[in-house]
A and B are shown apart, each in its own frame.
Chain A
């Protein structure tokens, strides 16, 4: 392990963070608020740490897979640390644990918050909070690779280390084109949603911060009541559309827009993703009508928004879903576990793996009927070998184990079962709000300090698709350093 090389590439990530901290500081100047000094100081310190390795370490021709993995995981962890800096310097509700929680929640695009009064924060900090979503949405390294000049083999190794195998498999283009697609769709959707929200009467600041949160499927709002603050069905409809789009495979969106390809309509995963959402909305609306809302329109309005918000792992709210009937709650938990498609900014198990799982179960059932049959799992003309299927199913098992273990931890710390389970599901899936005391109108402030650290751990595990973070802490990765 060449630590000097690791430091050099983390330096780039630091510089990108510093640049965006500077932008937030400028927002602070424009709005004349008091967050300028925390943001500016954070920006300077981060920039200095970013520049220093670049002065000493010359560029590397290539890096090993282990070095790539260490760069990726370190970049996430250190970005979260850097992101917590302005919060810590600001004070108020931000103890170090709270600042770390808010920062991890931002970068991992979870959207869970410890803030009891979001609107009390100055605009500069609110912008920084939304920016952490923006940076984390694409993945901090993927973002860096998209905006920085080509890094050659190093860039390819970093790309492979950051992207899960599932996502890599889903893109047919080369690395450079894939990065361009991701960046174009990501920024394009943000600009389109911002424009649409401004046209609906939202001010530019709110429109931009909410667009960052929507397209990154984050869920941080600049308002205490989230989207409910605007009480506008037009704004809710726009947000719903962009939440659904953000949950789709960016490659398919790109080809649909720029190449007029119809692959997006033919994709089994996209079809399943949309069908699941539609069925979820129908069941929820039916369940809410007469129990929570007397009119069908209200039941559909609130039911659809919450299901799509959770089902895309965004986490915005228009109502308190904690008081919903049991069926609606269980549907929310299902969607918080599943989330949207691979190749999007969404978290969770992902629709692709559930489709894969369903097909694998069908294959197994057929094999029971015809033991000698040679069957293959095929999704959109692509055959999935048994090892890939096993990896997908194993991921689901490991994911659920993480949820189970973390829930036990929280219960041991005194958190009630519903809040603990739904909170862990929501943070591991990078969804945001859970149910009970951590519901859509609640927050995570009251969770014990240790519990907050457990939840930030699950957020990072979810964002790095579990294995990355676990491997980072395995000794063999670091032992290679001494061998070299």
Chain B
């Protein structure tokens, strides 16, 4: 192989090693960025919506207790605003299904909330329900707890997924760093290897050739510089050897 190709191959290998590691690190870093984005936009949004729904349910429950006590105006106002809050939060959760199986959790909330809502939508004041604490506990409280549990389950699902994504981020960070570290170490080792070969196959033969020419010129010693490889340096040594022989022959003839 020609000298130029040998040297080029060394640099090409070095460049290839570093660029692949670089591209991989960039890819992994980009992937970390996407994961963080997913973490915030997908899971955190749903967790927040769950918290809003639980807050709304608690307020609805307070409103219902006020209605039971006969405070129609305050009770209806609280229930109405809490219901709007619940619906708004539910829409966020329903439009943010990102985890496999999350749809089932959202459907469960919708069905259970609908059933719960039907229980308190009708009039309470001036009916037999007013002041009836047994009705509250026997009819209302169970569905209330059922909706609340479903909402909590949705929150837990997103919490767990968030934890999993965060854990994956750690290994992704490791995978982003490791190619770089490996490439640096490999490049250092490769540089030593390259340097060794350059010294052994380029520098040493040139020194040998120079020394042999010097010996020839000083002491008319025969040119003797053995080159192991079949490249330009070998050709150079051969040419110099021929030149020396011709010079020696001419000198003898004269």
Contact = CB atoms under 8 A, between A and B. Distances in A.
B182 A89 contact: yes
B193 A7 contact: yes
Contacts of B186: 45, 49
Interface stretch (A51-59, A335-343, A395-403): A51-59
A91 B179 contact: no
B185 to A, nearest CB: 10
A53 to B, nearest CB: 8
Interface in A35-65: 37-38, 41, 44-45, 48-49, 51-53, 55-58
A52 B174 contact: no
| Dominant SS among interface residues on chain B | helix
B253 interface: no
Contacts of B24: 37, 41
Contacts of A7: 193, 196
A85 B196 CA distance: 24
Contact of A44 (B20, B171, B228): B20
A52 B9 contact: yes
A56 B197 CA distance: 7
Interface string B162-198: 0000000001001100110011001001100110110
Given A37-B24, A48-B17, A49-B186, A56 B179 contact: no
B196 A52 contact: no
A4 interface: yes
A41 B196 CA distance: 25
Say which size band chain B's interface belongs to: 20 to 34
| Dominant SS among interface residues on chain A | helix
Contacts of A85: 182
The residue among B5, B189, B201 with the most chain A CB atoms within 10 A of its own CB is: B201
A219 to B, nearest CB: 27
B200 to A, nearest CB: 6
A52 B179 contact: no
Interface string A82-96: 000100111110000
A45 B179 CA distance: 11
A3 interface: yes
Nearest to B5: A55
A52 B171 contact: no
Contact of B182 (A3, A51, A88, A92): A88
Nearest to B173: A91
Contacts of B175: 37-38, 89-91
Given A53-B197, A91-B174, 15 more contacts: A4-B200, A37-B27, A38-B175, A41-B20, A44-B17, A45-B17, A52-B193, A56-B197, A56-B200, A57-B197, A58-B228, A88-B182, A89-B175, A89-B179, A92-B171
List the 5 shortest-distance A-B pairs measured between CB atoms, nearest first.
A91-B174, A56-B197, A48-B13, A91-B171, A89-B178
